[in-house]
Structure 1
Amino acid sequence: MTLKTSNTIPITRFDLSHIAANERYAIWKESISVIFQTELPEKSLSDAFNAHITTCHLSSVLLSSTTSRQQYFNRPAKLIAEDGLDHFLIQLYTRGSTSGQWGKDNNSTVRAGDILLLDATRPIASLTEDFSNLTLVIPRNLLTAQWPNIERQHGSVLPRESTFGKLLGEHLLGLQDAALTMSAEEACVVGQGLVNLAALYFSHTLPKETCPSMQAATYKTIRDYIIKNLANPDLSPDMIAAHFRMSRAYLYRLFDATEGVSHFIQEQRLLMAFQILSHRSNGKRRISEIAFSLGFKNDSHFSRSFYRYFGITASELRKNALTDSAIKTAVDSIDRRYEDWALNLR
């Protein structure tokens, strides 16, 4: 697309309508894998598939309008580790619905008019009917600046009947209309303003005892401390509680939304191991050396934990990384810039 002036926001339009029907789904599956792993239900015909995405780059956030057919949208642990996408998604369904499992214990059906908040670093498993929706893609740092313990809200829904759901829905629809003629300067202000508004509305759905800013700031401080100390084999709830001079009970309460502090520590170590093993530059490092460098004390424990979490062994992942020769499908007539925008959004 050719921009009329340097002050216009970038807009990309991914459209499969002019592609042969039997080729559409394969192109879509590869393209949308920048965020989701998709599958068609068994009885669906790929020849009947179609999809369209219009994405506006609003400086610090992306706004996408998507229309497509029934399909599964998933973010399993393996994909989360592969792409390292550290964004939040706020979705308004304007047509159709989705039913999903958001993390371990949260499942719901999101109707047209409801607004769903998803954390791209947490598991997602959903089945979406024929649909149209708006998705606001937000880098983690923009939301955590307002709301440090936002992990608690993965899979949260603002119902269409609620005051906050109605207001935020109207803002998203209004932004969709205005974005097409918005200047770059306006986009920067409007995008940040909508992020602040969304954080405020979703924060009011938390139980009152989890909202105080001091507790949120404490959680973020401890989370950062854990990530900086993953290589320490002695990193544990006891060590963390002693370092911050707090009770273990209080520490456990802070991390109850992420399945506990011990689970969080091991999850971060496994995700880091996946990243290291996925890079060809680390091909000569022994797997056991990588495990020990990330605080695992036992090679067999690492191997079992890795397979249980990702569904693939560490050695299989390394082999795939060293032999992968996949070539991205090239169709010159399709605008796929939104893929790079999503990956490079900061």
Structure 2
Amino acid sequence: MVAAGGRLVAEGPDGLLASQGQQDGPIPHFEFSTDELSQADQFDAWRHNFAPMLDLTPTGDRPDLMVGRQVIWDLGCLAFTSISTEALHFASLPGRVRRDALDHWMLTLILDGEASTVAGERSFEGGAGEVQLHPLGQPFEGHVTDSHMLMLLIPRDFFQEQAGALSLAEFSTLGGGMGLLLADYIIGLARRLPRLTVADLPAIAAATRAMILACISPSPDHLDEAKAPISIMLLERARQYINANLYNPNLDNDMLCRALGISRTRLYRLFEPSGGVMRYILHRRLLDAHSKLADPAETRRIFEIAEQRGFNDGAEFSRAFRREFGYSPSEVRSRGMGAIPARPLADLAALEPVERLGQLLRRLQS
């Protein structure tokens, strides 16, 4: 799978997976490269490609130049990507996070090059053969040299009640024997993907979940403060409670405080990075409504879908929906915008290459 120059490639057509028979076909992939762009457009395109998750800024004397190559594999409930990039600065998007509430983890194996990250008072570095874990929902910034890396993008719901284990290892380089074992697994997955089929996706997800949980242990630095892991576990419980009660019209701050047994002040601090509790609940309800509206099998009226999610005024729902996504609920229904496909990549093939990563991240969040 690793071709000359370290570029990750895979054989097979970029076809849509529309029928049951195609489940035995290879897992499709999508490639994006700045090689085919004019020099003046290279870095802007590379930045746009990563804009849903990171803000990139150039280094060097020619900020418009950027040699970058990426391959995206849609694993259904995960995203796997190979990235070759020239040196650049990166930063998380706190303002964007409050809008989109991306809860993904970014698990990165550096194959060649070095990366450094600063997150508040924490800082850590990583080099070839090392795995790093970044939470996209928290502020951080850093720098990467000319590098080749493999990256898993993992939605928080992928681990459900085990999510606290990953939260304890956030903002760290995973060392030791278990870190090396996880690196070997990620490399092995990259090599085997061309020989696997769509029917293998559930097994890939199960094996990946098991390996990550087995290899990631809490960082001693994170355990120095007793309050940190307690807050992490409370936040995970709160998110699970919200998801389980998303249609409950009484879901609010007081209901969450009673369920978790904490004060309003403590609850506010937990959800401050997401713009507050009610902002987080609103976003989850709008995402859920978007998914239903894009589903061709969903025949209920728009107002009925909105009402189930706590909107008693159709105009209010339409305004909130447009503010969140930039288009109306009726446009989603009439054009099938943003539909979550029954097979991977059905919503990626028709997009411009620089738009695919962002669409995949939003689909994982939904």
Equivalences for residues 124-163 of structure 1 within 5 A? 124-148=140-164, 150-159=166-175, 162-163=176-177
What's the offset of the Cα at 1:276?
7.2
**Deviations along 1:56-79, whole A, 9 cap, x unmatched?**
112221110000111111113112
The Cα RMSD (Å) is 3.9
Give 2:103's aligned amino acid.
D
Which residue of the partner structure matches residue 57 of structure 2? 39
Which residue of the partner structure matches residue 15 of structure 1? 33
SS of 2:184's equivalent?
Answer: helix
Contact 1:144 1:150 in 2 (8 A): no
**Deviations along 1:129-181, whole A, 9 cap, x unmatched?**
1111100011111123323364332212212xx10111111110111111122
Cα 1:209–1:183, aligned 2, differ >3 Å: closer, same or farther?
A: farther
What's the offset of the Cα at 1:47?
4.4
Quick check: 1:198 aligned with 2:212? yes
What's the offset of the Cα at 1:243?
6.4
Q: TM-score, normalised by structure 2?
A: 0.63
Which residue of the partner structure matches residue 86 of structure 2? 69
Equivalences for residues 1-346 of structure 1 within 5 A? 1-3=13-15, 6=23, 7-41=25-59, 43-102=60-119, 104-148=120-164, 150-159=166-175, 162-203=176-217, 205=219, 207=223, 220-222=236-238, 231-232=252-253, 240=257, 262-270=268-276, 273=279, 334=353, 336-345=355-364
What's the offset of the Cα at 1:90?
0.7
Give 1:221's aligned amino acid.
R
Cα 1:214–1:79, aligned 2, differ >3 Å: closer, same or farther?
A: closer
Which residue of the partner structure matches residue 300 of structure 1? none
Q: Higher mean Cα deviation, 145-154 or 64-73?
A: 145-154
Which residue of the partner structure matches residue 313 of structure 2? none
Which whole-Å CA distance do the structure 2 matches of 1:58 and 1:150 have between them?
A: 20
Give 2:191's aligned amino acid.
D
Cα 1:72–1:94, aligned 2, differ >3 Å: closer, same or farther?
A: same
Provide structure 1 residue ranges, at least 5 long, that are not aligned to the other structure. Answer: 253-259, 280-317, 323-330
Which whole-Å CA distance do the structure 1 matches of 2:241 and 2:76 have between them?
A: 30
**Deviations along 1:181-233, whole A, 9 cap, x unmatched?**
211122321233112211221135465998xx99986663355568988854x
Which whole-Å CA distance do the structure 2 matches of 1:332 and 1:60 have between them?
A: 20
Contact 1:93 1:112 in 2 (8 A): yes
**Deviations along 1:264-309, whole A, 9 cap, x unmatched?**
24444448559979x9xxxxxxxxxxxxxxxxxxxxxxxxxxxxxx
Give 2:76's aligned amino acid.
S
Number of residue-to-residue matches in the alignment: 276
Which whole-Å CA distance do the structure 1 matches of 2:260 and 2:362 have between them?
A: 35
Which whole-Å CA distance do the structure 2 matches of 1:243 and 1:191 have between them?
A: 31
Which whole-Å CA distance do the structure 2 matches of 1:337 and 1:112 have between them?
A: 27
Q: TM-score, normalised by structure 1?
A: 0.67
What's the offset of the Cα at 1:24?
0.8
